[in-house]
Amino acid sequence: MTVKGEKMTIHPLFILIRENLVLTVHSEEINRLLRFSRYAQPFFKRIAGEDTPDKITLTLERIIDENNDRNFEYLREIEMHGDAISKSLIEENVAKKKVAHDIYRMKHVLIDYLNVLWATKDVVDSLRYGDADLITNDEKLLGRIGILYDNIDRHIELTEQMSNVLASGLEVMQSIYNNQLQSLNNRFALVTAYLTVLGTAFLVPNTIATIAGSGVMRGTMAEQWWYVPLLAVSTLVATLGSFLWVVHVWKKREED
């Protein structure tokens, strides 16, 4: 696999074996076995005296080990991107919607990465329990393949942990959205409370004025000296009463 930014590309590596022959086929875009090629000559000298199944097994183990090492390096790169996303969660100027999309894409990369690790694990299993005519029966050499298996298992666990961390990041994003919606609801409730106070403040004196100007009262009430003070006092009492009631209800809501 190769990782560039938030994009992962999977390059299949085919390994074909038969008697005394190991053939690898892979994309020209990667130099996956470069380090192995540098030390190929002393490696083959060291295994020259081994039986053919042992030679094939050691060669396959070396190829898979180097391929795994290169793949494992990308986990650090993915972790760096995950750390950058975590940092953006605490920055107020960053659009949270963009961060959520970044987290989703990174989780998708981790899923692809896990698929590659599981596929590699299947290959190692085929070496441990594969064709006895081509693969060695030496317990020591099979133990080295077991080490490869354990390394893959550890990286699978690390990848799953990182996926859980990113999933918790999505939960944080959901909590942020919920808090924003709650804050917006609180603002609307506060506006409604103020409108209630204002509505009550205008409703009471308006009712008195309507009664005073109606034909029932024949306009005598509006001519009295205490009419204007009555409107002022009723407005003040209605405003204060409605305001105190709203404050009481608001405090009770916060306590709940």
Higher pLDDT, 131 or 56: 56
More confident residue, 59 or 209: 59
Question: Among candidates 214, 203, 209, which has minimal Cα distance to 231?
Answer: 209
Distance CA 232, CA 208 (A): 11
pLDDT of residue 212: 60
Check residue 216 and give its pLDDT: 47
Of residues 136 and 23, more confidence is placed in 23
Burial per residue of 42-73, b for 16 or more beta-carbon CB atoms within 10 angstroms, e otherwise: eeeeeeeeeeebbbbbbbbbbbbebbbebbee
The rounded mean pLDDT for the chain is 76
Q: Is 3 left (phi over 0), alpha (psi -120 to 50) or beta?
A: beta
Tell me the per-residue pLDDT of 198-209, one tens digit each, with 9 for 90 and over. 676 666 666 666
pLDDT band at 130 (very low <50, low <70, confident <90, very high): low
Q: What is the pLDDT of residues 236-249, one digit of tens each?
A: 777 777 677 667 66
Only one residue has tokens 């005296």, namely 49
The pLDDT score that the predictor gives to residue 84 is 76
Q: How confident is the model at residue 221 (pLDDT cuts 50, 70, 90)?
A: low
pLDDT band, very low/low/confident/very high, at 124 (cuts 50, 70, 90): confident
Task: Give start and end residues of each alpha helix (H) in 91-216.
Answer: 96-128, 139-212
Q: For 60-102, what is each residue's pLDDT tens digit?
A: 888 988 888 888 888 888 878 777 777 776 666 666 677 777 7
In whole angstroms, what is the distance from residue 79 CA to residue 159 CA? Answer: 9
Q: What ranges in 90-136 are assigned the alpha helix state H?
A: 96-128
Q: What is the mean pLDDT of residues 21-48?
A: 84
- Tell whether the model's pLDDT for residue 151 goes beyond 60: yes
